[in-house]
Structure 1
Amino acid sequence: MTAWRDRWAGTLPRLAVVLHDLAMVWLVWQGLHWLRFGVMENPPPMPWWSTEVLLVLAAQGLVFWRVGLYRGLWRFASVPDLWNIFKACALGLVAIVLALFLYNRMDLVSRTVIVLYPLVLMGMLGAPRLLYRAWKDSGMERGGEGATRILILGAGHSGEALVRDLRRLGHYHPVGFLDDASRLRGTKVQGVPVLGKVEDVAEIARETAARLLVIAMPGADAAAMRRVVGACEHSGLPFRMVPRLRDVLDGRSQPGELKEVAIEDLLGRQPVLPDWKSIRSWLGARSVLVTGAGGSIGSELCRQCARHGARRITLVEVNELALIRAEAALRRDFPDLEFASVLGDCGDPAVVAHALALAEPEAVFHAAAYKQVPLLEGQLREAVRNNVLATETLARACREARVGTFVLISTDKAVDPGNILGATKRMAEMVCQALADQRHTRFVTVRFGNVLDSAGSVVPLFREQIRRGGPVTVTDPEVTRYFMTIPEACQLILQAAAIGSHEAIYTLDMGEPVPIRLLAEQMIRLAGKQLGRDVSIVYTGLRPGEKLHETLFHADEHYRATSHPKILQAEPRGVASAEIHQAVAQMREAVGCYDVERLRLQLAGAVPEFAPVGQPARTAPPAPPPTVVAFPSRTARNV
């Protein structure tokens, strides 16, 4: 009923415009003939209505419709509309001449009228439109001072809801919609007209004097968003977007809130859709423990566990302020859930024992780690202590406590590591393999690439550099990285834990790697700046330990599809448990006396594929050539 009423409400004004234009045709045609023949002593009869007049109205009306004269609105009449009217009048004259010639060989039709008709009709049609626009504009200026004129991109349900919200706020004035759906062209949504296509945003924004663009397309994929954002950037106006439903449900946006377009909205792949049924089935009513619970990954992991059925969540964090914030946010959002907090280092056996006794967990997620590549190149002792020895302490305690599942959160840098971070995380993976206990504890490793907007990632760094006016520092124009969002990373962790395999290494099929240079350029444009004029990019060269490209699997790790189409499972390479335990014991001794050189040799011996960037690998045999393998349901790629 509402849709019928809206359509009828949009039809009435359009019908009035059609009647006005036909009345102008009748007036011009008859008026010119009266003026022409009125000076004669014996003028021919000129009835108000005749077959000739009906043919003129029919021919001209048909041309008006075909030219598209009624797709425009008087409220926004401009020079292009006048040109359209002129074409309609000229073509209408041709149609009238043809119709009258066939009817009566143009008997009693003045040649002077034929010449003057299109010019006079153009004035009679164009003047009311321009006067109406001038009147409406002056009325808006008098009655809506301070109201921001908004052009909405997307005339669907989100756009309709947005108009209602804007009207309730009062200081925003929606002037029109843009939508690529041809069936919506010329209609009205909540009384607001659909003015054209998205690609015409610059021209229509100028004609409507819009001051803000709002993208109301929460279901658009990354490619569509890049096209829409490009059109908005071309207009030179600021733009915002209606948040996606999943952002509202996850608590990252408020209903009715307009947010800036984020860089993750422009990623070149679809977000992973987890199998929530299997996750809830595995996670439901469990007690879980999360280390590094105050970090970007750890805190989001706690929220995901709370949202999807965990009975109790225990937070272990060494940073007191991060722990306070994480616990406060969880208690605010999930007041009925049971939480416990432990302040301490998960490499301390006493802290670990206390946390396990307090939580009695059925699953442990080990997110605590040092992860800053350039910093760790000069902090080998702390990297080994936190990333390797703390992992061994926690994993061994979990095995002794018979925890059901231990999940190690690793990184793509652990594949053919070229830096201290990658080598220590690879060593942590090997430690978990050496401790694997088929009878009681499942050890699961989850690898993923860079996480957008996580603490210390490149996105917050670029954002701050852009805010200061640049320059934005990129290490190399060719450097690429795999990217995912924080929620996606945590969903991958939970999905991998729910799959149920022993000693497995999981990774997300993350599509194609993203050039960091393009990431920086997109962020500059999203900030409303022009590359090269407002903010420049400076290439600083690769930092210590950095590689141009990362890989997700080692050539010797044979991987296969899992029950989730976007998660792949690798068979871990075999390790000698006794040698791993011996290496860990030796590292503890070297850490105890802060012997960095000894630690360097021990790490290189334990992780033979570790080849610091710029140095040859320490293994004697030459490295095998890259092996081409096929991802499930994807094209072949090198690993």
Structure 2
Amino acid sequence: MVTMVIHNSDLLKQYIRRIILDLLIIPFAFYLAWLIRFDGHIPAKEWGALTRHIAPMAFVYITIKLVCGIYRRLWAYASFRDIILLSETVGLGTLILVVVNFALTSHYSYRLSTGGLIIGGLLTLTLSTMAKYRHQLIAMFFAPWLRRMKSNPERVLIVGVNEAAQQLATQIYLRKCEMDYELVGFIDSYNGKGMNINGVEILGAPDQIPALVRDKQVDVIIIARQPSDREERWQLISTCLETAAQVKVLPDMVEVIEGRYEDPLTLRDVSIDDILGRTPATVNAESCQRILADKVVLVTGAAGSIGSELCRQILRFKPRLLLALDNNESGLYELNLEINRNGRSPLQLVVADITDWGKMNRVFQQYGPQVVFHAAAYKHVPLLEYHPDEALRVNIMGTVIASEVAHRYEAERFVFISTDKAVNPSSIMGASKRIGELWIKSLSKHGDTIFTTVRFGNVVGSRGSVLPTFAKQIELGGPVTVTHPEMTRFFMSIPEAVSLVLQAATFSHSGEILMLEMGEEVSILSLAQRMIRLKGLRIHKDIEIKFVGIRPGEKLHEELAYSEELKETTPHPNIYRLQSPNGSIDRETLLGVILILNHSLRMSNGEQLVREGIFQIASHDIDGFLNRVTGLDLTRDWHQLAEGGATRVQTGGTVVHPIKRHIAESALPVPG
């Protein structure tokens, strides 16, 4: 109550100050208008009439301003829209005065000068605007003198003409930038040479940047607008980097909306995202809020690149509780320090292994997650080629356990994070993720939980990926190692990928595979060359590029979808729904062969069986896998066997389905 009283008292004082200011401005404006109207010689009759009516005239203007909320506005942050409202308010007041003046003519033999009223209204608007913008006007008036008093300001060239460039130019002119800048001109691609913005000339096109930097002695180039085309964008950045000037970039509106920059005019260095030339996608925050707000949300692999970003973004949508689960306790500790600094975030760290059936059960029993994002996985392609057993344990069994527990405890949604390497996999990692996709699809036909897969390519800056590797090699002086001169990859920033994953979860149906639009493939060699040039170094002179050959499990070019998968549009232009004409493997069958695959590790050639089995299951060759493992010829009657048909195995006096026997021996319950 006290706070409200203080607030109302402050607001009342603000109103009183502004009304008093108008009581000074309005009479002054109209007396000045009468001087102008009568060329400085106001007849006594006119002077007396104006004096008698000035109080009600001021009352009209003040009343309209009160009704229209003019006195409630913070004019220090006013925009052009505020000026329009002020103009409409004063215009309405002037119109009322003119109409009333004409109406009263029938009752009085004399009326006020109509021309004087109109001039008075215009002067009232002018003086009111000047009063409300007095701080900005004073700053603009003294700016030239202040600039002359400063020695050696950094000379700036702004590339791109848009609203952000205009605002930045104003900030520089008013000396509101952190650095001491002097704007020398603009660069525009659309033949604007000779025109000017805020009195500053457009000097030429982007191809003239090197000459202008030299002739105008430019210290800093600020890129305010980048071309949408990737090659044009890189050409612009490359041209700027070839000069002696420092290169800075204004963030785009998507970065500002996502909260990465508090001030839209914050200058940043050229980044990897600029080199890749990808325009970030926007998402519908309201739909994300609908599925996450006041929910218990679980993120597995929360200490990883994707998992940690999921945690950051999910917290914006105000979940009741966010469970960050990982077996990397150091990573969880660092995540907590970053996103829960004040200790008030609804964040619960859970140190657990997704392959621990008992622990995962206890987590679901204790917290009851309603929405699950399964990002936990081993991802390094060459490393997993030597450890297929770990790919089986974590990427396959971990996914089975996490999803089965979510199904058992009736979670609302389960989102499985997949990869483009799952398409026609050439690696253990890709094949294991493909089995995860098949499993999620098979599980979607049981219960009410919405099971969805989201598939996308490489993300920029994830630990161990090519970009941080190149950056480290450049920092150490080279060489930069590229596997093959023709190798390409799809790239997307981690924040964009995660935001699209959240968006995909809002409209997905159970069993769907959703694919993120990754744009064009990026040449790894070209990427390495650009990163070297970004550091101001010369290829083969300062830094060598060395070709080391394709590593085990790698492909020259990745694919985002199988040839038979049909790409359908969704409510978001950067997310596609993949429809496959091939039927899915039923849950019981797939669970059985996964468990047999797990048990085959006990055999003498277990690792080889696991390696081959992962690829066979990923390619739907269930018969071939079982023939190798069990020695049974199931080519003809596998489907009968899977349905509990004629072929059965006698165990301890009980007839048991072969698949269910393996399930019974495992730690998992028999499905169905």
Name the TM tier (shorter chain): 0.5 to 0.7
Q: 1:198 to 1:176 in 2, by over 3 A?
A: farther
Q: 1:324 to 1:593 in 2, by over 3 A?
A: farther
**Matches of 2:160 and 2:435 in 1, distance apart?**
51
- Report what 1:259 is aligned to: 268
3-state DSSP of counterpart to 1:391: helix
Instruction: Supply the AA of the counterpart residue of 2:320.
Output: R
3-state DSSP of counterpart to 1:604: helix
Name the stretch that deviates more: 160-169 or 195-204.
Answer: 160-169
Q: 1:418 to 1:295 in 2, by over 3 A?
A: same
**Matches of 2:506 and 2:205 in 1, distance apart?**
45
- Report what 2:595 is aligned to: 585
Matched, 1:481 2:489: yes
**Matches of 1:609 and 1:523 in 2, distance apart?**
41
**Matches of 1:268 and 1:170 in 2, distance apart?**
28
1:454 Cα deviation (Å)? 1.2
- Report what 1:149 is aligned to: 155
- Report what 2:165 is aligned to: 159
Once the two structures are superposed, residues 205-252 of structure 1 have per-residue CA deviations (whole angstroms, 9 ceiling, x without a partner) of: 111222222212278664553242132133243312122233234343
Mapping 1:302-313, distance limit 5 Å: 302-313=311-322
**Matches of 1:418 and 1:242 in 2, distance apart?**
41
Once the two structures are superposed, residues 66-94 of structure 1 have per-residue CA deviations (whole angstroms, 9 ceiling, x without a partner) of: xxxxxxxxxxxxxxxxxxxxxxxxxxxxx
1:143 Cα deviation (Å)? 5.5
Matched, 1:492 2:482: no
Contact 2:228 2:277 in 1 (8 A): no
**Matches of 1:280 and 1:503 in 2, distance apart?**
23
Name the stretch that deviates more: 316-325 or 305-314.
Answer: 305-314
Instruction: Supply the AA of the counterpart residue of 1:449.
Output: G
- Report what 2:324 is aligned to: 315
Once the two structures are superposed, residues 1-44 of structure 1 have per-residue CA deviations (whole angstroms, 9 ceiling, x without a partner) of: xxxxxxxxxxxxxxxxxxxxxxxxxxxxxxxxxxxxxxxxxxxx
Once the two structures are superposed, residues 555-586 of structure 1 have per-residue CA deviations (whole angstroms, 9 ceiling, x without a partner) of: 33334222223221123541143331122222
**Matches of 2:171 and 2:147 in 1, distance apart?**
20
Instruction: Select 2:350's aligned residue among 342, 345, 349.
Output: 342
1:278 Cα deviation (Å)? 2.7
3-state DSSP of counterpart to 1:570: strand
**Matches of 1:351 and 1:591 in 2, distance apart?**
23
**Ranges in structure 2 where 5+ consecutive residues have no aligned partner:** 1-145, 622-634, 636-672
3-state DSSP of counterpart to 2:592: helix
**Matches of 1:592 and 1:497 in 2, distance apart?**
39
- Report what 2:46 is aligned to: none
Name the stretch that deviates more: 494-503 or 580-589.
Answer: 580-589
1:347 Cα deviation (Å)? 1.3
- Report what 1:6 is aligned to: none
Instruction: Select 2:428's aligned residue among 402, 405, 420.
Output: 420
Instruction: Select 2:535's aligned residue among 511, 516, 527.
Output: 527
Q: 1:601 to 1:170 in 2, by over 3 A?
A: closer
3-state DSSP of counterpart to 2:472: helix
Mapping 1:170-209, distance limit 5 Å: 172-180=180-188, 182=191, 185-187=194-196, 189=198, 193-209=201-217
Instruction: Supply the AA of the counterpart residue of 1:600.
Output: R
1:276 Cα deviation (Å)? 3.1
- Report what 1:327 is aligned to: 336
1:452 Cα deviation (Å)? 1.0
Matched, 1:382 2:385: no
Matched, 1:562 2:555: no
**Matches of 1:301 and 1:592 in 2, distance apart?**
37
Instruction: Supply the AA of the counterpart residue of 1:608.
Output: S
**Matches of 1:171 and 1:240 in 2, distance apart?**
12
Matched, 1:281 2:287: no
Q: CA RMSD in A?
A: 2.9
Q: 1:358 to 1:144 in 2, by over 3 A?
A: farther
Contact 1:150 1:212 in 2 (8 A): yes
Instruction: Supply the AA of the counterpart residue of 1:151.
Output: L
- Report what 1:597 is aligned to: 608
Contact 1:347 1:393 in 2 (8 A): yes
**Matches of 1:183 and 1:435 in 2, distance apart?**
60
**Matches of 1:577 and 1:171 in 2, distance apart?**
63
Q: 1:585 to 1:332 in 2, by over 3 A?
A: same
1:301 Cα deviation (Å)? 1.1
1:409 Cα deviation (Å)? 0.3
1:394 Cα deviation (Å)? 0.7
Contact 2:234 2:277 in 1 (8 A): no
3-state DSSP of counterpart to 2:337: helix
**Matches of 1:565 and 1:157 in 2, distance apart?**
26
Contact 2:302 2:311 in 1 (8 A): yes
Instruction: Supply the AA of the counterpart residue of 1:296.
Output: S
1:313 Cα deviation (Å)? 1.1
- Report what 2:233 is aligned to: 225
Contact 1:311 1:337 in 2 (8 A): no
Contact 1:431 1:580 in 2 (8 A): yes
Once the two structures are superposed, residues 454-505 of structure 1 have per-residue CA deviations (whole angstroms, 9 ceiling, x without a partner) of: 1111111111112222221111111111111112211221122111311011
Instruction: Supply the AA of the counterpart residue of 1:150.
Output: V
**Matches of 2:183 and 2:538 in 1, distance apart?**
27
3-state DSSP of counterpart to 2:242: helix
**Matches of 2:221 and 2:454 in 1, distance apart?**
41
Contact 1:288 1:363 in 2 (8 A): yes
Instruction: Supply the AA of the counterpart residue of 1:275.
Output: N
- Report what 1:85 is aligned to: none
- Report what 1:96 is aligned to: none
- Report what 1:607 is aligned to: 618
1:362 Cα deviation (Å)? 1.4
- Report what 2:585 is aligned to: 575
Name the stretch that deviates more: 152-161 or 348-357.
Answer: 152-161
Matched, 1:410 2:421: no
**Matches of 2:191 and 2:200 in 1, distance apart?**
16
Q: 1:172 to 1:286 in 2, by over 3 A?
A: same
Instruction: Select 1:213's aligned residue among 221, 227, 246.
Output: 221
3-state DSSP of counterpart to 1:235: coil
Name the stretch that deviates more: 578-587 or 155-164.
Answer: 155-164
Paired residue total: 470
**Matches of 1:516 and 1:609 in 2, distance apart?**
32
Contact 2:459 2:493 in 1 (8 A): yes
Q: 1:576 to 1:211 in 2, by over 3 A?
A: same
Once the two structures are superposed, residues 500-526 of structure 1 have per-residue CA deviations (whole angstroms, 9 ceiling, x without a partner) of: 311011102323211111111222222
If the length of structure 1 is used for normalisation, what is the TM-score? 0.68
Once the two structures are superposed, residues 99-145 of structure 1 have per-residue CA deviations (whole angstroms, 9 ceiling, x without a partner) of: xxxxxxxxxxxxxxxxxxxxxxxxxxxxxxxxxxxxxxxx9999525
Matched, 1:400 2:412: no
**Matches of 1:503 and 1:245 in 2, distance apart?**
35
- Report what 1:544 is aligned to: 552
Instruction: Select 1:446's aligned residue among 444, 447, 454.
Output: 454
**Matches of 1:171 and 1:330 in 2, distance apart?**
30
Name the stretch that deviates more: 276-285 or 287-296.
Answer: 276-285
**Matches of 1:148 and 1:378 in 2, distance apart?**
55
Contact 1:417 1:609 in 2 (8 A): no
1:160 Cα deviation (Å)? 4.2
**Matches of 1:564 and 1:464 in 2, distance apart?**
36
**Matches of 2:502 and 2:351 in 1, distance apart?**
24
Instruction: Supply the AA of the counterpart residue of 1:582.
Output: G
Name the stretch that deviates more: 475-484 or 305-314.
Answer: 305-314
Instruction: Supply the AA of the counterpart residue of 2:594.
Output: V
